[in-house]
Amino acid sequence: MSNSVPLLCFWSLWCCFAAGSPTPFGPEGQLADELHKPKAIQTEVKPSVRFNLRTSKDPEHEGCYLSLGHSQPLEDCGFNMTAKTFFIIHGWTMSGIFENWLHKLVSALHTREKDANVVVVDWLPLAHQLYTDAVNNTRVVGHSIARMLDWLQEKDDFSLGNVHLIGYSLGAHVAGYAGNFVKGTVGRITGLDPAGPMFEGADIHKRLSPDDADFVDVLHTYTRSFGLSIGIQMPVGHIDIYPNGGDFQPGCGLNDVLGSMAYGTITEVVKCEHERAVHLFVDSLVNQDKPSFAFQCTDSNRFKKGICLSCRKNRCNSIGYNAKKMRNKRNSKMYLKTRAGMPFRVYHYQMKIHVFSYKNMGEIEPTFYVTLYGTNADSQTLPLEIVERIEQNATNTFLVYTEEDLGDLLKIQLTWEGASQSWYNLWKELRSYLSQPHNPGRELNIRRIRVKSGETQRKLTFCAEDPENTSISPGRELWFRKCRDGWRMKNETSPTVELP
């Protein structure tokens, strides 16, 4: 497929929004039309939805097709009534064929749950349409899945609680409709970057919502781009997890949008961002020994500040297949950082640094870097991202993360970058100098750094290696060594907690 085709599709999608659609605008129109057609017509235009029971990891193996009301294929294909049953639901398609992610997900489920039933919901004829028409078909497909589940419930030993619907993009809302229409309550629905256009801000009965299953967990990986959110931004589950803030995924290159458009690679970038949710879920299935953890936070900015690394009162959870069931009264928005590829796990650290100055220096924007030294390995030089500004004579909190397990931390090197490495840093240096032109000698003091590991919840304090020399200025560094376990703060007596 040429690179221009998807861009034209995005343009046609926008035109559809602007000019309207030949079908009622919204995902509720088509089902009503189907149900109110004369019976003779209904039999002629049955929705093109097939249920393919995959009995092998091999993508070339066709598997068996289940048919509503026919029990023989269940026996012939070895459908296990007492086992878990997964329904994989794809989304809107421009190609009309299954994409590679689906085969990877099927294989990962078979690897993790060897006795499980893995069913692929094939609604390609209804998904290979203009986006607005595909949206209107989601109710029809959801209704077909619900009818299949109602029929299976008539069989001995089949339990709706063992059913896990996994929907990608538009398929996540199909799963929501299925959970809404079925007689009973589905055990779990996982939404993998649910589609945003025509669902953002919609009523709970017209999109995926927490009411659709006993447990609804959602991964958001592509919630902003060019003013259009491909994935839904709003929380729609019991827990909604936003890896890397839910927008720029490492390794996808969306931070260089103009370059991607110039080189004709924007299609791959968009696909990478949106599809990352699927690969995070696959990772959780096949890399059980390297689980990724997310942390509850009110918004992405607070998480970037390193404020939200607590596991108290269910404030942290595994992501993907390993997520623990949570049914809070309020939705839980959770965040984490990831690597660019599998295994995606990283190690989060909260750093509390009390910065003070003996001089009135006014506003200052230092560029700090840290290097962490542990019993297993040493980190790369890591930037301390300043989300707002450095507060003087106050404790500043930062988030850093490493791709390797460093083991027990032993010491920290803190560096204040000297010569500017970018135009942005040059501008910061100039602005800082202009604010205090008569005080060119910029100097801050830091006596200790407090660190908390997100993954182990362990707290450590690091003291300046030379207590008589705690000052740092551009181009200089300070060393801190571990001086005690814990922080020894007032009103903080809870023990350290290991994540499950």
Length of the chain in residues, anyone?
Answer: 500
Task: In whole angstroms, give the CA distance from residue 434 to residue 431.
Answer: 5
Binding residues for Ca(2+): 207, 212
Does residue 193 have an active-site annotation?
yes
Burial of 198-214, coded b for 16+ CB within 10 Å and e otherwise, reads: bbbebeeebbbbbebbb
CB 351 within 8 A of CB 400: yes
Task: In whole angstroms, give the CA distance from residue 223 to residue 184.
Answer: 32
Residue among 122, 193, 240, 283 flagged as catalytic? 193
Task: In whole angstroms, give the CA distance from residue 442 to residue 440.
Answer: 6
For residue 495, what is the DSSP state?
A: P
CB 320 within 8 A of CB 403: no
CB 190 within 8 A of CB 281: yes
Task: In whole angstroms, give the CA distance from residue 54 to residue 71.
Answer: 17
Q: Residue 440 is encoded by which pair of tokens?
A: 């060119």
Distances (CA, A) of 132 to 30, 172, 181, 232: 11, 16, 22, 16
Residue among 90, 122, 143, 169 flagged as catalytic? 169
Identify which of 171, 130, 96 has the alpha carbon closest to the alpha carbon of residue 15: 130
**Identity of the residue numbered 433:** Y
Helices 266-286 and 100-112, axial angle in degrees (round to 10): 10
Q: Provide CB contacts within 8 A for 436, sequence distance 6+.
A: 361, 362, 364, 442
Is the preceding omega at residue 343 within 30 degrees of 0, hence cis?
yes
Task: In whole angstroms, give the CA distance from residue 481 to residue 399.
Answer: 19
Binding residues: 207, 212
**Identity of the residue numbered 417:** E
In a 13 Å sphere around the CA of 89, the CA atoms on its Cβ side amount to 33
For residue 210, what is the DSSP state?
A: G
CB 221 within 8 A of CB 231: yes
Residue among 173, 220, 274, 279 flagged as catalytic? 274
Q: Which residues are catalytic?
A: 169, 193, 274
